[in-house]
């Protein structure tokens, strides 16, 4: 069962997500929070699989919650999906850089929200090619000035695949382009994540942007 926590200061948003989650088989609604401090306490207590986290919340904003969760080894398995009002919220790139597994606009289709739960719980990320391109275009100039530790440990093949990941390509698409198997792509992606200390595929995209590989 996938345990999901919702953290948002809007009661209507929390109610809508709770109702949606409770209708999905294999998913359990594990709690809700109306402010950042409450959200952090709930996450530390429940250790959910997936958290829908609003950025703009009272007492402690979502970015600070995300930083604390990402820095806590006990919460390493917690996957966070950032909820935004606009598809390119000014904090989106910082959220991805800090450890979010992706982001969704609050008025997303219910099917997309439920799909997000399964994708993120399975280790995937919520970054479509179009969204990835726009995030890179808007934020790369500021992000590229920040060095990425251990980038020199990557092999040339890992760097090449990392560039494809940053373009939003799936493992199957990368495999077709490079004429290798999807399993080989997954292996290279996993190794790159381990070497760079990336929590998931979304953070690997961020590292690619920061390092200038894009």
- Domain 2-137 belongs to what topology? Rossmann fold (3.40.50)
pLDDT tens digits for range 70-108: 889 999 889 999 887 765 556 777 777 788 887 787 877
Residue ranges per structural domain of the chain? 2-137, 145-211
Nearest alpha-carbon partner for 20 in 47, 43, 50: 50
Cβ neighbours for 191, distance < 8 A, ≥ 6 positions apart: 158
**211 within 8 A of 148, measured Cβ to Cβ:** yes
> How far apart are the C-alpha atoms of 68 and 4, rounded to whole Å?
18
Helix 182-196 crosses helix 171-178 at what angle (to 10 degrees)?
110
Q: Is 58 exposed, middle or buried (0-12, 13-18, 19+ CB in 10 A)?
A: exposed
DSSP bridge partners of 82: 53, 103
**168 within 8 A of 133, measured Cβ to Cβ:** yes
Domain 145-211 is in which class?
A: mainly alpha
Q: How long a stretch of residues is the chain?
A: 214
Q: Is pLDDT of 4 > 90?
A: yes
Mean pLDDT (whole number) for 194-211: 80
Mean pLDDT (whole number) for 33-59: 94
The mean pLDDT value of the chain amounts to: 83
> How far apart are the C-alpha atoms of 40 and 54, rounded to whole Å?
12
Q: pTM of this prediction?
A: 0.72
Lookup result for tokens 């986290």: 53
């Amino acid at each position: 069962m996938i345990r999901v926590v919702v953290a948002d200061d809007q009661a209507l948003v929390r109610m809508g997500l709770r109702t949606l989650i409770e209708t999905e088989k294999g998913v359990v609604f594990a709690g809700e929070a109306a402010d950042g401090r409450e959200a952090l306490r709930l996450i530390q207590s429940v250790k959910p699989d997936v958290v829908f986290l609003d950025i703009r919340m009272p007492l402690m904003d979502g970015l600070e919650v995300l930083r604390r969760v990402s820095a806590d080894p006990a919460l390493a398995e917690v996957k966070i999906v950032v909820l935004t009002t606009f598809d390119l919220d000014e904090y989106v790139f910082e959220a991805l850089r800090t450890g979010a597994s992706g982001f969704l606009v609050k008025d997303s289709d219910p099917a997309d929200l439920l799909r997000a739960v399964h994708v993120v719980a399975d280790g995937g990320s919520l970054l479509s090619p179009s969204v990835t391109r726009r995030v890179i275009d808007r934020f790369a100039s500021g992000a590229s000035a920040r060095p990425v530790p251990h980038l020199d440990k990557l092999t040339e093949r890992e760097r090449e695949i990392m560039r494809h990941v940053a373009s939003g390509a799936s493992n199957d698409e990368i495999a077709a382009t490079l004429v290798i198997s999807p399993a080989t792509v997954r292996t290279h992606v996993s190794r790159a994540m381990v070497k760079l200390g990336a929590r998931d595929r979304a953070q690997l995209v961020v590292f690619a942007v920061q390092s200038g590989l894009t």
